[in-house]
Amino acid sequence: MISRNGQPEAGSTPGVRVALFTDTLGDVNGVSRFLNDIADRALENGRNLRIFTSTRKPVLDLPNLCNFRPRAACRLPGYSDLEIVLPPMRRLIRAARAFSPDVIHISTPGPVGCTGRWIAHRLGVPLAGVYHTDFPAYVEHLFDDAALTHLAGGAMRRFYKPFRKVFARSAEYHASLERLGIDRGRQIRLQPGIKIDRFHPRFRDSRIWAMSGVPAAGAKLLYAGRLSLEKNMPLLVETWQRFRRLAPRSDARLIIVGDGPYRATMESALSGLNAHFLGFRHGEELSRLYASSDLFVFPSITDTLGQVVLEAQASGLPVLVTDVGGPKEVVRHGADAPSGIVLSPRDPTLWASQALRLSENPELLASMGAAAHRHAGRFSIHASFSHFWEMHERLASDARPALRPQPPAPMTDLSPSFQMDSVSA
């Protein structure tokens, strides 16, 4: 086992060693927060998890996070906060071999993930991964092109083909994974989890609005996430426009935390309608914005989980989510003590009327907010990491008899087939 200083704990025996490869670790998104959380939890539990990435962005200073500066990097067109990198593959391979993993876990199908996939093949260790992002759905919403969507699905099918186990973030995505050729026997539903002490009603602080340039009066309806078509931002725009038509004298405010390629369009469409764009927020400031709001509105239909939905509920906010995708599965609805409401994404008038009904009923907001906080308490990062680790221990145990006894190929064997395999993946 390893401790927070990166050294073996006295008297401990080495356990399973998991190398995790990811293309997102310093970014502002739910995947990055989850990975940082499990890295921290692994240190607390003395588990041999090491996370490998390659990014120009700063990452947390933890002994089990290994960031290799990219050989080259460029920003994605239209997404100024995202970058695509060419990782230093030789250095990644040397570091992975030195770590000698029992299991390799791939978090993202980008260049770093492709490198990890190739390393697993060369080292002869079992490969696992998580389906964090529904890329075919993203392509469909961005381009509305059936051929491109089909190509994206084919790319994901080829990428995940050698994986022994693939983690789904929600039950709904079991069927999606089956369509990618991943049968139920290879699927595991990963138990969701967040640091529930980081998102809590105790962070409520009305002073945050003056600091953010937002009038203190009126209910605060919050959205947090990327501002892009694949997050279904047109529904949020239309919902708020209809909200203002239904209640033109309301002093309610729409608070938008995040950034992305659709921001300029949103700002233009919502000009003069009590909408406030705060950009990205981090750390305790983000916790205070969550807890100081009144209702969380999340219109996405492409999220495999929607970690922000859990964060909002843990902060004491009722939530509005769609009936498509993973977020509805972490919302208690249609029962006693609901934590939110699940709505069709095809009816912005219903979204507006429900948002108005809740925003004008402080007692209902308070009771649903309290229920949301209690409900989110079921999704701790402690339980999530325990499940994550147990599944990798089982995979390593099942694979050990089949592992090849000979050492892997020498480091100098970086043939063109490596680059071809990475590209074709």
What are the domain boundaries of the chain? 17-193+380-424, 201-376
More confident of the two residues 10 and 157:
157
Residue 401 pLDDT: 57
Residue 6 pLDDT: 42
What does the pLDDT average to over 273-294? Answer: 97
Residue 399 pLDDT: 79
Which tens digits make up the pLDDT trace of 153-189?
888 999 999 999 999 988 888 888 988 889 999 999 9
pTM: 0.86
What does the pLDDT average to over 218-243? Answer: 96
| CATH for the stretch 201-376 | 3.40.50.2000
What does the pLDDT average to over 374-389? Answer: 96
CB-based contact 196:377 (threshold 8 Å): yes
DSSP at 133: B
Residue 414 pLDDT: 32
Render 243-258 in DSSP notation, one character per residue: HHHH-TT---EEEEEB
Q: Is pLDDT of 10 > 50?
A: no
CA distances (Å), 199 to each of 1, 94, 179, 278, in order? 29, 38, 35, 19
Q: Tokens at residue 212, please?
A: 């953010």
Which tens digits make up the pLDDT trace of 298-316?
999 999 899 999 999 999 9
What does the pLDDT average to over 329-335? Answer: 91
Residue 260 pLDDT: 93
CA distances (Å), 33 to each of 68, 307, 357, in order? 19, 9, 33
Residue 139 pLDDT: 75
Give the pLDDT band (50/70/90) at residue 424. Answer: very low
Q: How many CB atoms lie within 10 A of CB 238?
A: 16
Residue 416 pLDDT: 29
Taking the C-alpha atoms of residue 344 and residue 323, their distance in angstroms, rounded to an integer, is 6
Taking the C-alpha atoms of residue 1 and residue 10, their distance in angstroms, rounded to an integer, is 9
What does the pLDDT average to over 37-53? Answer: 97
Measuring CA to CA, which residue among 367, 254, 368 is closest to residue 319? 368
Taking the C-alpha atoms of residue 227 and residue 362, their distance in angstroms, rounded to an integer, is 28
Hey, what amino acid is at 170?
Answer: S
Q: Identical fold at 17-193+380-424 and 201-376?
A: yes
Listed range (47-56, 133-142, 219-228, 316-325) with the worst mean pLDDT: 133-142
Q: Is pLDDT of 129 > 90?
A: yes
Listed range (177-181, 214-218, 248-252, 336-340) with the worst mean pLDDT: 177-181
Name which CATH class applies to 17-193+380-424: alpha beta
Which tens digits make up the pLDDT trace of 59-93?
999 999 999 999 998 987 777 777 889 999 999 99
Measuring CA to CA, which residue among 322, 22, 304 is closest to residue 174? 304
